[in-house]
């Protein structure tokens, strides 16, 4: 089979992703006719069609779907090579571009960037905090830390951790006021977050509470900031509250934890062509090591809390 011209592969990927010749032409700054000709040229060289025409839409057939996976990986690898070459030519450092949820970026990733910089000074990170999954290949990202069930089309993904438990946290001021209180007392406090999640938590404690939260947030990081400012009790994913729990900005009020369908697993996702890209491998290894350290710190905090409760109980019984 003859080698495929690179320009036809860019056109093929764009048409496949946008499902429209004119839109693909606009994205590549080419005319509708030029894009159409490139697709015809590619299909001619291959000896078979790649698309089905459905009115104004062009949709990949099974052969096109098979080719797209390889083309996306190959072009992603070429993009990385071009970035590395440009960085070397300018004397600068190549950036690793990653995207993740704002809550994970603010509450977990950003506080650790200093340690990344100490270990990998020649690999600066460019972080996009987005509520919506981005197309890594199209938008030029090396990786994503995503929450969901996976897998994602055109990407490889590795599970970082399963559904994180959700726990009740509050400011130290609220924790002192509620020391020793039963879950019934929490229902009389200002509650932050989703009503249904709180009902599930109270249900796990055996309490039938009327729940009416005082504020709902589209970002868990904002909710935790509100709890830190003593605006109410928050029901949060434990990993997002980990640093605040360990340094005392937040306190866990109850050992009862729940999991919920909304609390889906976290994955490290990347284009298949970057599987052996050394900087990305370094990032994967570092993220896993930092997560392990977070969970070790949380486990130590739990052990300390249990020991303190036992000691308090012993003092009272004496």
> Mind giving me the DSSP string for 82-127?
HHHHHHHHHT--PPEEEEE-HHHIIIIIGGGHHHHHHH-TT--EEE
Query: What share of the chain in percent tops pLDDT 70?
Result: 89
Roughly how many angstroms between the first and final C-alpha of the chain, as a whole number? 86
Q: What is the chain's mean pLDDT, rounded?
A: 87
For the cut 90, the answer to whether the pLDDT of residue 155 exceeds it is no
For the cut 80, the answer to whether the pLDDT of residue 73 exceeds it is no
The pLDDT value recorded for residue 316 is 55
> How far is 99 from 263, CA to CA, in rounded Å?
19
The pLDDT value recorded for residue 247 is 94
Rounded to two decimals, the pTM is: 0.72
Q: Residue 79: helix, strand or coil by DSSP?
A: helix
Helix ranges, 209-277 (H): 220-228, 238-247
Contacts of 11 (CB under 8 A, 6+ apart): 24, 28, 30, 35, 38, 39, 42
Contact of 221 with 103, CB cutoff 8 Å: yes
pLDDT tens for each residue of 156-180: 899 998 888 999 999 999 999 999 8
For the cut 60, the answer to whether the pLDDT of residue 317 exceeds it is no
The pLDDT value recorded for residue 313 is 57
């Amino acid at each position: 089979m003859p080698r495929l011209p690179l320009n036809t592969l860019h056109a093929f990927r764009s048409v496949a992703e946008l499902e429209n010749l004119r839109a693909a032409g606009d994205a590549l700054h080419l005319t509708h006719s030029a894009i159409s000709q490139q697709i015809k040229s590619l299909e001619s060289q291959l000896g078979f069609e790649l698309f089905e025409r459905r009115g104004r839409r062009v949709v990949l057939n099974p052969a096109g779907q098979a080719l797209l996976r390889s083309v996306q990986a190959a072009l992603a690898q070429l993009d990385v090579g071009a970035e590395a070459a440009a960085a070397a030519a300018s004397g600068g450092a190549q950036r690793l571009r990653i995207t993740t949820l704002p809550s994970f970026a603010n509450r977990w990733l950003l506080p650790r960037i200093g340690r990344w910089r100490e270990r990998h000074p020649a690999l600066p990170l460019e972080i996009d905090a987005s509520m919506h999954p981005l197309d890594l290949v199209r938008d030029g990202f090396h990786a994503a830390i995503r929450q969901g069930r996976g897998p994602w089309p055109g990407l490889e993904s590795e599970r970082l951790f399963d559904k994180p438990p959700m726990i009740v946290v509050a400011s130290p001021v609220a924790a002192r006021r509620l020391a020793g209180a039963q879950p019934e007392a929490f229902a009389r406090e200002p509650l932050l977050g989703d009503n249904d999640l709180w009902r599930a938590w109270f249900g796990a404690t055996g309490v039938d509470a009327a729940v009416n939260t005082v504020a709902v947030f589209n970002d868990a990081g904002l909710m935790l900031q509100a709890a830190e400012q003593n605006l109410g009790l928050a029901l949060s994913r434990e990993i997002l509250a980990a640093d605040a729990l360990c340094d005392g900005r937040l306190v866990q009020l109850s050992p009862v934890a729940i999991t919920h369908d909304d609390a889906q697993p976290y994955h490290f996702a990347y284009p298949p062509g970057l599987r052996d890209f050394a900087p990305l491998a370094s990032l994967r290894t570092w993220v896993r090591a930092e997560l392990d350290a977070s969970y070790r710190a949380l486990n130590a905090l739990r052990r300390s809390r249990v020991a303190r409760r036992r000691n308090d109980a012993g003092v009272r019984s004496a």
